[in-house]
A and B are shown apart, each in its own frame.
Chain A
Amino acid sequence: MQKYKIILIGIITGILSGLLGVGGGIIMTPAMVLLLNTSQHKAHGTSLFVITWTAIIGVFVYWIRGSIEVNYVFLLVFGSISGAIIGSSFAAKMSERTLRLSYCGFLIFVGFRMIMG
């Protein structure tokens, strides 16, 4: 029974991931913590494992459908890996709450622009 529940969470996450081009961690991590009683850390690690495989298959489908620009991918990967190193070394020095609230402000502002635009 538990196995089917996990597979169902996976299917829902996967559909959203393919439809919107996102990893799906935002669904999986809380689902694991709340429905399967996984610890926050393990849920995070497990979701990264799942995202890796989901994104590989998703990219393959997008590639077949002609929606990949390789040049952009290399530049963005280079930028985001450097950024992640910078970000994690500053993480301890910044207030998590302020950061989270500014990110929410950004999401709401840009989200509305995408809906209206």
Chain B
Amino acid sequence: MIDLSFILLIGLGAGILSGLLGVGGGTIIIPALVLILGISQHVAQGIALAVIIPTAAVGAYSYKKRKLIDMSIGLPLAFGSVFGVVFGAIGASYVSDNILKKLFGLFMIVIAGTLLRKK
């Protein structure tokens, strides 16, 4: 029961931040699930990816209504990305949980670096 309301709270926090800054909720959801609830890095990543689907779809729909999706870029980009994600996801299942966790930590620090450089 504590777990359930806590998970809801994690979602709320991730949503508020993405509404405010427009950044993905994955950087909130994954560490919270892993560090606080002790869920494995692999499962946390699968969960985060699933949570992204409805959020991104709703966002994409509202941009589409305002004609702010460029399909001449979007289609080849999606083609490459769908191809790449299969390799990435299969690759992840061959990496140990501990290494994957460290890689994710490194990724967070790299994002912080790019955000700090932005004026």
Task: Give A residues with C-beta under 8 Å from B.
Answer: 3, 6-26, 28, 30, 32, 36, 38, 41-42, 44-46, 48-59, 61-63, 65, 67-69, 72-73, 75-91, 94, 96, 99-101, 103-104, 107-108, 110-115, 117
| CB-based contact A22/B86 at 8 Å | no
Task: With both chains docked as a complex, state the minimum distance between the C-beta of A58 and any C-beta of chain B, in angstroms.
Answer: 4
Please give, as numbers and ranges, the residues of chain A lying within 8 Å of B91 by CB-CB distance.
15, 18-19
Task: With both chains docked as a complex, state the minimum distance between the C-beta of B114 and any C-beta of chain A, in angstroms.
Answer: 7
Question: Please, could you name 7 A-B residue pairs with CB atoms under 8 Å apart, sorted by A?
Answer: A10-B81, A15-B85, A44-B22, A53-B81, A79-B8, A104-B112, A113-B31
| CB-based contact B20/A87 at 8 Å | yes
Partner of A114, one of B19, B34, B59: B34
| CB-based contact B109/A112 at 8 Å | yes
| CB-based contact A111/B112 at 8 Å | yes
| CB-based contact B51/A91 at 8 Å | no
| CB-based contact B15/A7 at 8 Å | no
| CB-based contact B46/A63 at 8 Å | yes
A23, closest chain B residue (CB): B24
A-B CB contacts (within 8 Å), total count: 351
Task: Give B residues with C-beta under 8 Å from A.
Answer: 4, 7-27, 29-31, 33-35, 39-40, 42-60, 63-64, 66, 68-70, 73-74, 76-93, 95, 100-109, 111-112, 114-116, 118
| CB-based contact B47/A69 at 8 Å | yes
| CB-based contact A10/B80 at 8 Å | yes
Partner of A52, one of B60, B70, B76, B89: B60
| CB-based contact B68/A42 at 8 Å | yes
Report the separation of the CA atoms of residues A59 and B89 in the bound assembly, to the nearest whole angstrom.
Answer: 9
| CB-based contact A80/B25 at 8 Å | yes
Please give, as numbers and ranges, the residues of chain B lying within 8 Å of A61 by CB-CB distance.
85-86, 89-90
Task: With both chains docked as a complex, state the minimum distance between the C-beta of A35 and any C-beta of chain B, in angstroms.
Answer: 10
| CB-based contact B12/A79 at 8 Å | yes
